[in-house]
Structure 1
Amino acid sequence: MIRYLSLAILRAIPTLLVTWALVFALFQIIPGDPVNLMLGGSPASPQVRETMRQQLGLDRPAPVRFVAFLGDVAKGDLGTSYRTRQPVADMLAANIPPTLELAAGGLVVGVTFGLMFGLLAGLRPGGVTDFLCSTLVLAGASLPNFWSGMLLIWLFGIVLHWAPILSHGIGALILPSISAGLFVVGGFARLIRSSLIETSAQDYIRTARAKGLHPARILIRHILPNAMIPPVTLLGMQLATMIGGAMVTENIFARPGIGTLLIQSVLAKDLPVVQAVVVYTTGAYILLNLLVDLLCHLIDPRLRVDDAR
């Protein structure tokens, strides 16, 4: 297991470097001057502009600035925002918790309903229940986030008044979580269904039934542990996607978070903030995939045997 973790971490390093380099290079191409952003339209002499460029390090070549950025990240220094003059680390610390709350709420909704619909469809494939569940999850997954979010606001917030639209606390998290979770429900339920059907057709399941084991025991002890490996893998990827791509849901529901911060920073060409968000999202994506791999190793002993060879 230690050898597997070491190799996984080593493989993650090139991914991080390439991603950060691409974002850095992209911002060098986009038109605009960060000095103008910091001045906010105020007139300034060429000497003042040059001094500000030197303070920001913009007078150095791009490769030198990128290497300096990597060194600062290694020390935990993410720089200072061009737009607000605040430390980027403080801005991230203020915006990460709302995004994690939204991702956790969406995950709860997605796992709960995805597992329920997937089990109902997979245990009786080809029947009426299978058809209804598959139709519902397909319809939910087909709705874009912005459309489902506006629909939820109109129906449950304006018409029925069942959930608050703009407020604080758990109540304000209900509608955004449903909107974000619909993306997870579709893929999770369909993968559980197909995995259940495939696992139920294996020889060892037929043997267990022939021995007269109780159907519930067969489902819990034999079918689910083997059928859950592909859905768990998908769930880790979707959770990472939800954390990194919450910008649509956050903007629809006027919530603070990483997505809202990223949009504002991209429009303002606030490079330190954008780089910090990329550092955060890529790191979260790689960490979550590593945790999913470890969870799959715990569920399926065969993977541990393969790593030991």
Structure 2
Amino acid sequence: MKIAFLNLCHTDPELVARCAKRLCTDPDFDMYVHVDAKQNIEPFREALKDIRGVYFTPDRYKVYWGGYNAIHACFELIRAAINSDIHYDYYVMMQNLDYPIKTNRDIKRFFEANKGKEFIRGCPVARTKDWEFSRKYKLFYMKDNPYGKVSNKNPVKLLNTIASIFMSITTIGFNGIIHENDGDYDIYYGCAQWAVTDECARYLDDFEKTHPKFNRKMKIMQFPDEEYFHTVVHNSKFREHCIKYNEPQKRWLVNWRNLTYFEFPKEVTVLTKADYQKLKEVPDLFCRKVRSDISKDLLDELDKENL
């Protein structure tokens, strides 16, 4: 069971190295790393240089909060793995501050026991009457810029917001169904961390290259990394291989976890040693989010338990 862990990174190279060291002690596990092009890659190269099975993507994108460049970066990771000389059974999408909470043996046994399943749940949001969902596609988002979390008091952010509001006139009537040359695609959303089989990963790769209308719509949606892959999979034959599919609509992202435990009262909670016992009892393979400083005692406990 060969597994490629695809890590979308922008901060804390020490944590990335610690995670890679944990996973890549298994010769069947490799990690592919995309470092946000806004960041200096050298601290990551230095931290990861002596770890077997770590590969950096040849190209990098500037990834902004909620922007479409995250999709480009994810495909860089997918393609770096599928175009390698190694055949992987699974591709596991991770995000920087994720960390394994099970042993490598447990992770491998889990995927062996569930071989052929796709771990990418999707919440159906097309035609929804719930504004919490429909605003994701009814409004026009322009997030690939450095002003995503900046206050509207910033003049450039204010102009960007005004332009987005104006452009939303062109999208407000959209019902969440993307019309492509080969058919219609109902939009789904879900967690940005997921795992898919080799066949599904190659299908995603080909889809992105051959569906320009779909891509154009996703570029102006809210948080496309929570919608792109889920929409493609749940409008394909692979939906029947998902751990769950045809699920009813349900609010809040924590209800759509795949393999990664996280808490999201207002923003994703940074986990600490106080969460250790809870993490031991959850079925998830990974947790989010941890930091090499704040979460050090927790990471020490997890490593002591699982190495």
> Structure 2-normalised TM-score?
0.23
| Structure with the larger helix share | 1
The structure, 1 or 2, with the larger RCO (C-alpha pairs under 8 Å, 6+ apart) is: 1
- Larger C-alpha radius of gyration, 1 or 2? 1
